[in-house]
């Protein structure tokens, strides 16, 4: 089993979601995160003082997948999240030792 983690632009989230849905990956978990990276951040002006926010809001997706399916998922994310400009984000894959479904009590592939 694999766990795919993708950090993408918030504005690309819907595209990624739709692209995943096209290959029938409808189950995943996501959260809002913040990132420091190469991309320059906005500046804010308040009462005469200028400051950089310093971070950029991003979305992180976590997808649990079988060892067979993960490569396609990674490919789809890389394609759909891409703008080509600095700030597109990263995708990483790690190995899952065990995975369980709470509802079914089943393990690994059968837990998806």
Partner 1 sequence: MDEGLYIANNLWILIATILVFIMHLGFASLEAGLVRKKNTVNILFKNTMIVSIGLLTYYIIGYGLMYPGGEGGGFFGFKQFGIEEPGDLASLLAASSEGFVMPSWTDFIFQGMFAATCATIVSGAVAERIKLGSFLIFVTIFVAISYPITGMWQWGGGWLNVMGFYDFAGSTLVHAVGGFAALAGILLLGARTGKYTDKGIKPIPGHSLPFATLGVFLLWFGWFGFNGGSVLSADAASVGKVFVTTSLAAAGGTVGAFIISYVMFKTHDLSMVLNGVLGGLVGITAGADLMSPMEAIAIGGIAGAIIPLSVVFFDKMKLDDPVGATSVHLVCGIWGTLAVGIFGSSAGLGQLWIQFVGVSTIGLFTFAFAFILFYILKVTIGIRVTEEEELKGLDISEHEMSAYSSSDTVAYNLNVQ
Ligand X SMILES: Nc1ncnc2c1ncn2[C@@H]1O[C@H](COP(=O)(O)OP(=O)(O)O)[C@@H](O)[C@H]1O
Residues lying near partner 1 in the complex (CB under 8 A) are found at 9-11, 13-14, 17, 32, 34, 39, 41-51, 53-57, 59, 87
Q: Which does 60 bind (CB under 5 to 8 A by kind): ligand X, partner 1, its own copies, none?
A: its own copies
Over the window 69 to 88, marking each residue x when it contacts its own copies by CB under 8 A and - when it does not, the resulting string is -----x--xx--xxxxxxxx
Which of the residues 42 through 61 are near its own copies (CB under 8 A)? Answer: 55, 58, 60
What element of type H or E holds 18?
helix 13-22
Q: Which long-range contacts (CB under 8 A, 24 or more apart) does 79-82 make?
A: 79/19, 80/12, 80/15, 80/16, 80/18, 80/19, 80/20, 81/6, 81/8, 81/9, 81/12, 81/15, 81/16
Which residues neighbour 88 within 8 Å (Cβ) at sequence distance 6 or greater? 8, 9, 12, 81, 82
Q: Which of its own copies, ligand X, partner 1, none interacts with 57 (beta carbon under 5 to 8 A by kind)? A: partner 1
Answer with the entry of ligand X, its own copies, partner 1, none that 69 interacts with (C-beta below 5 to 8 A by kind).
none
In whole angstroms, the minimum distance from the beta carbon of 6 to its own copies comes to 8
């Amino acid at each position: 089993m694999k766990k795919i983690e993708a950090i993408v632009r918030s504005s690309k989230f819907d595209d990624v979601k739709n692209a995943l849905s096209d290959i029938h990956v409808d189950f995943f978990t996501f959260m809002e995160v913040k990132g420091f990276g190469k991309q320059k951040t906005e500046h804010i002006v308040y009462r005469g003082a200028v400051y950089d926010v310093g971070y950029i809001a991003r979305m992180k997706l976590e997808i649990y997948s079988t060892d067979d399916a993960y490569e396609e998922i990674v490919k789809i994310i890389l394609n759909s999240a891409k703008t080509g400009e600095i700030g597109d984000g990263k995708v990483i894959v790690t190995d899952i030792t065990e995975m369980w479904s709470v509802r079914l009590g089943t393990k690994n592939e059968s837990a998806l």
